[in-house]
C-alpha cells in the first residue's frame, strides 16, 4: 500500500508544490508531497477528511517536517480544554484580514493534523493552529509561534488525560523557556493565569467562566481561591486575577483602547462571544483591528458540524458538541427551549469513564422534552432520574426524529456520538 502511495506521488508531486517547498531539504519536499497525496487519497477513498493520514505519513518520512513547513510563517497556536476549534476558526478568519492563513479547521489538533494542514494549504504568510493541550510544548518547539492563546483548563477525560494541575505545570514550564512568545491568556481561569505567569509578555482577556470546580485551590500555594463577582484571588499568595485588556461586555467586546464593539455572530451563545473576543485579541497581536475583523467573524456559520443546522422531515436539527462538564453547561446556555436529544458514548476519543455526568447539572432541561440515546444512554438515564429530569430513551437518531413534532430539535452529544449523528446527516459541516 505504501509503495502505491510513493509511486502515485512521483507523478503527482512536481507541479503542485512550487512555492511550498522552496528551500526545504529534499527529504522534506518528498515528505510534503507524499503527505498531500495521501490526504487526497484518503478523501477520494471516502475513508476520512484527510486531515490526519497525510501528516502521519509525511512525519514518518521526515520527522522535522512540521518545523520545515512552519518556517517562514507567522504562527498562532490556540490551546485549552474547551473552545479550541471554534476559537481557531474565528482567529483564522480574523487574521485573514492580512493575507492567506493555513489552519487545521477540522479539529485535527495533534502534530499529524498540523503537518497535513500546512502541507495542504501551500505557502501562506500566516498559520493559526489548534493544539491539543498535551502537545503544546512539542508544537511550540517545532512551529516557533509568534502568539500562543491559552483558553482554559478543566477536567476532561481523566482516565487518560493529565490532571488539571499537571497540565498547568507543563504549560508554565514550557512558556518559561520561550520568553519571546506573546501569550494571550484567559484572566478568568486561575489555572491559566498561573500557567501564563511564567511568560514576560501576556495579553489578558476576560470572557467569563461558568465552570469553577477545578480551581478552588491555588496551584501555587495550595490555599483556597476566593471569588466575588468576576474577580478572584488566592487567600495565601499573590496570585490573583490580572486586569484584562480585552473584555466581553453585553453582546460585544471592549478592546485595549477602551472602545466597545458589537459582536454579531451566527454562532449561538455567550461562550462564542468570548471565543470571538479571544480571536480578536490574538489577531490584534498581528496588527488586525477589531473593526476589520468583525465582518469576517460574522460570516462563520458552523465549524466541522458544530452549530450546524440541518432541515429534515420538517425538523430543524441543530448540532451542539459537548465534551466535558464545562462545555455541557455552555451547551445548555446555547440551546433553545425545544425538544432536545442527548447522546452519550464512551469510546476512546470520549474517554471510557462517564463519571463526569454527575459534574453536570441537567436541571435546565426540566422545561423541555428530553430524548436520550447513545452507547451509554443508561448512564445518562440514571443521572437524569437523580436530577429529576423526565426523559425518553430512543434506539436511534431516526427514532428520535420521528418522536418530536416538526420544528427545532436540539442535539447535544459528546465527541463520537456527535460524529455518529453527523454521519447520519451526510457529514454536515
Partner 1 sequence: MSTESLRIVWIYPDLLSTYGDRGNLLILARRAADRGIPVETYEVRSDQRMPNSADIYLIGGGEDGPQALAAQRLLADGGLHQAVNQGAAILSICAGYQLLGHSFYAKGAKCAGLGLLDITSDRGETRAVGELRGDIDPRLGLPPLTGFENHGGRTHLGAHAAPLARVTGGIGNDGQTEGAWAGKILGTYSHGPALARNPAIADLLLRWSTGADRLTPLDDTWSERLRNERLAAASPAV
Identity of the residue, 18 or 382, whose beta carbon is nearer to partner 1 in the bound complex: 382
Taking the C-alpha atoms of residue 279 and residue 2, their distance in angstroms, rounded to an integer, is: 40
6 binds partner 1 (CB under 8 A): no
Taking the C-alpha atoms of residue 337 and residue 334, their distance in angstroms, rounded to an integer, is: 10
Partners of 74 in the beta sheet? 126
Q: Give least dist CB 328 to partner 1, A.
A: 12
**Range 356-359 contact pairs with CB under 8 angstroms and sequence separation of 24 or more:** 356/155, 356/324, 356/325, 357/383, 358/383, 358/386, 359/155, 359/213, 359/325
138-146, 260-268, 349-357, 416-424 -> range binding partner 1 (CB under 8 A): 349-357
**Is-contact 322 331, C-beta < 8 A?**
yes
Going residue by residue from 154 to 173, which x/- string records binding to partner 1, judged by CB under 8 A? -x--xxx--x-x--------
CA 221 to chain centre: 30
For partner 1, how many residues bind (rule: CB under 8 A)? 27
What residues numbered 259-278 form the site for partner 1, per CB under 8 A? none
Q: Say what angle helices 53-61 and 26-44 make with each other, to 10 degrees.
A: 160
Identity of the residue, 356 or 397, whose beta carbon is nearer to partner 1 in the bound complex: 356
Q: Give least dist CB 355 to partner 1, A.
A: 3
Contacts of 7 (CB under 8 A, 6+ apart): none
Q: Give least dist CB 236 to partner 1, A.
A: 10
CA 278 to chain centre: 12
Q: Give least dist CB 353 to partner 1, A.
A: 5
Taking the C-alpha atoms of residue 117 and residue 302, their distance in angstroms, rounded to an integer, is: 19
41-49, 63-71, 151-159, 405-413 -> range binding partner 1 (CB under 8 A): 151-159
Taking the C-alpha atoms of residue 226 and residue 219, their distance in angstroms, rounded to an integer, is: 13
- Please tell me the number of Cα atoms within 13 Å of 127 on its side-chain side: 32
What residues numbered 306-345 form the site for partner 1, per CB under 8 A? none
- CA distances, 81 to each of 41, 134, 199, 357, 406 (Å): 32, 10, 20, 17, 35
7-15, 113-121, 181-189, 214-222 -> range binding partner 1 (CB under 8 A): 214-222
Taking the C-alpha atoms of residue 31 and residue 286, their distance in angstroms, rounded to an integer, is: 30
What residues numbered 367-396 form the site for partner 1, per CB under 8 A? 378-379, 381-383, 385-387
Q: Give least dist CB 237 to partner 1, A.
A: 15
Contacts of 147 (CB under 8 A, 6+ apart): 75, 76, 77, 181, 182, 183, 184, 282, 285, 286
Going residue by residue from 223 to 252, which x/- string records binding to partner 1, judged by CB under 8 A? -x----------------------------
Q: Give least dist CB 159 to partner 1, A.
A: 5
Q: Of the candidates 265, 357, 404, 413, which one interacts with partner 1 according to CB under 8 A? A: 357
Q: Which residue is it, cell 436511534?
A: 396
Identity of the residue, 128 or 346, whose beta carbon is nearer to partner 1 in the bound complex: 346
79-87, 212-220, 306-314, 332-340 -> range binding partner 1 (CB under 8 A): 212-220
DSSP 335-374: S-SS-EEEE---SGGG-S--GGGGGS--GGGGGS-EEEES
358 binds partner 1 (CB under 8 A): yes
72 binds partner 1 (CB under 8 A): no
Q: Give least dist CB 216 to partner 1, A.
A: 4
366 binds partner 1 (CB under 8 A): no
Residues that bind partner 1 (CB under 8 A): 155, 158-160, 163, 165, 213, 216-217, 222, 224, 352-359, 378-379, 381-383, 385-387
Amino acid at each position: 500500500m505504501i509503495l502505491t502511495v510513493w509511486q502515485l506521488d512521483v507523478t503527482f508531486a512536481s507541479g503542485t508544490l512550487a512555492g511550498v517547498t522552496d528551500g526545504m531539504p529534499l527529504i522534506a519536499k518528498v515528505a510534503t508531497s507524499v503527505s498531500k497525496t495521501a490526504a487526497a487519497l484518503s478523501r477520494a477513498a471516502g475513508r476520512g477528511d484527510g486531515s490526519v493520514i497525510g501528516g502521519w505519513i509525511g512525519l514518518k518520512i521526515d520527522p522535522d517536517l512540521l518545523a520545515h513547513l512552519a518556517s517562514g510563517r507567522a504562527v498562532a497556536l490556540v490551546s485549552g480544554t474547551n473552545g479550541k476549534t471554534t476559537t481557531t476558526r474565528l482567529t483564522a478568519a480574523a487574521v485573514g484580514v492580512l493575507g492567506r492563513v493555513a489552519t487545521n479547521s477540522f479539529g485535527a489538533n495533534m502534530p499529524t493534523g498540523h503537518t497535513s494542514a500546512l502541507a495542504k494549504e501551500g505557502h501562506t504568510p500566516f498559520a493559526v493552529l489548534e493544539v491539543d493541550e498535551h502537545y503544546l510544548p512539542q508544537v511550540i518547539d517545532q512551529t516557533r509561534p509568534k502568539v500562543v492563546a491559552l483558553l482554559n483548563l478543566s477536567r476532561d477525560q481523566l482516565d487518560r488525560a493529565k490532571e488539571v494541575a499537571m497540565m498547568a505545570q507543563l504549560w508554565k514550564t514550557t512558556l518559561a523557556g520561550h520568553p519571546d512568545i506573546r501569550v494571550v491568556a484567559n484572566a478568568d481561569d486561575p489555572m491559566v493565569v498561573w500557567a501564563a505567569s511564567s511568560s514576560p509578555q501576556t495579553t489578558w482577556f476576560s470572557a467569563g467562566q461558568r465552570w469553577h470546580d477545578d480551581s478552588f485551590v491555588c496551584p501555587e500555594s495550595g490555599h483556597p481561591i476566593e471569588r466575588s463577582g468576576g474577580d478572584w484571588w488566592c487567600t495565601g499568595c499573590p496570585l490573583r486575577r490580572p486586569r484584562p485588556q480585552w473584555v466581553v461586555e453585553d453582546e460585544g467586546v471592549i478592546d485595549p483602547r477602551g472602545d466597545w464593539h458589537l459582536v454579531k455572530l451566527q454562532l449561538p451563545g455567550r461562550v462564542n462571544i468570548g471565543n470571538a473576543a479571544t480571536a480578536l485579541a490574538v489577531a490584534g497581536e498581528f496588527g488586525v483591528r477589531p473593526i476589520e475583523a468583525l465582518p469576517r467573524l460574522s460570516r462563520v456559520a458552523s465549524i466541522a458540524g458544530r452549530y450546524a443546522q440541518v432541515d429534515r422531515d420538517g425538523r430543524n436539527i441543530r448540532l451542539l458538541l459537548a465534551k466535558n462538564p464545562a462545555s455541557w453547561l455552555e451547551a445548555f446556555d446555547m440551546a433553545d427551549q425545544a425538544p432536545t436529544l442527548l447522546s452519550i458514548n464512551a469510546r476512546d476519543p470520549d474517554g471510557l469513564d462517564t463519571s463526569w455526568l454527575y459534574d453536570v447539572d441537567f436541571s435546565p432541561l426540566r422545561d423541555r422534552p428530553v430524548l436520550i440515546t447513545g452507547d451509554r444512554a443508561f448512564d445518562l438515564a440514571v443521572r437524569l432520574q437523580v436530577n429529576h429530569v423526565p426523559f425518553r430513551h430512543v434506539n436511534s437518531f431516526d427514532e428520535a426524529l420521528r418522536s418530536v413534532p416538526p420544528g427545532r430539535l436540539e442535539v447535544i452529544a459528546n465527541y463520537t456520538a456527535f460524529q455518529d449523528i453527523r454521519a447520519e446527516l451526510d457529514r454536515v459541516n
